[in-house]
Amino acid sequence: MKFIPLPLSGAFEIKIEPRKDPRGFFARFYCDDEFAAHGLNTDWPQMNISFSRDAGTMRGLHFQRGEGAEIKLVRCLRGKAHDVIVDLRSGSDTFGQHATVVLDAEKRNAIYIPKGFAHGFQTLQDDVELQYLHSTRYGPGFEGGVNMMDPDLAIPWPLTAAQMSERDLSLPPFSEVQPL
């Protein structure tokens, strides 16, 4: 595996290193030892999947705070998604900044998202499926979010928004979100 640091401290794009032969390939997506050697989380008690039917569908920007704060490892199982993280860590030099990674089922890459980040994505194709590994079990009392369309964030969404939930549309702007 290749661990490629993103511009926001502690976040990584993770790429597989396939070993190919006439049958196809074999690659490691996750290894406790390699993650630990990079100082990353190795405990994943919860795994989730999201499916979005239409290209341009948007989800996020979500986060968990306090005891519910979580690390995420996200990969695309089908299709492509424009994945975005926003640094909400109190005292961070990159507070309020974002980083993007195109998660692509064919490339089989992933994004490692530390605690203290909001996360969201826009699907780039129809029928996109993402898999999330979480370092903490879901705690509904700890959830929060930032409006992904907030112009102060200046996130360059590649497509016109096709679908967003009422909940995501009603999330507060960045200026009203307390640091994590």
Residues identified as active-site: 62, 132
Q: Scanning the structure block, which residue is given the tokens 């705690």?
A: 139
CA 95 to chain centre: 17
**Cβ neighbour number for residue 134 with a 10 Å cutoff:** 20
- Taking the C-alpha atoms of residue 16 and residue 34, their distance in angstroms, rounded to an integer, is 12
H-helix or E-strand spanning residue 120: strand 117-123
Question: Which amino acid type is present at position 114?
Answer: P
Q: Which residues contact 37 (CB under 8 A, 6 or more apart)?
A: none
ω before 77 within 30° of 0 (cis)? no
50 CB burial (10 A radius; 0-12, 13-18, 19+): middle
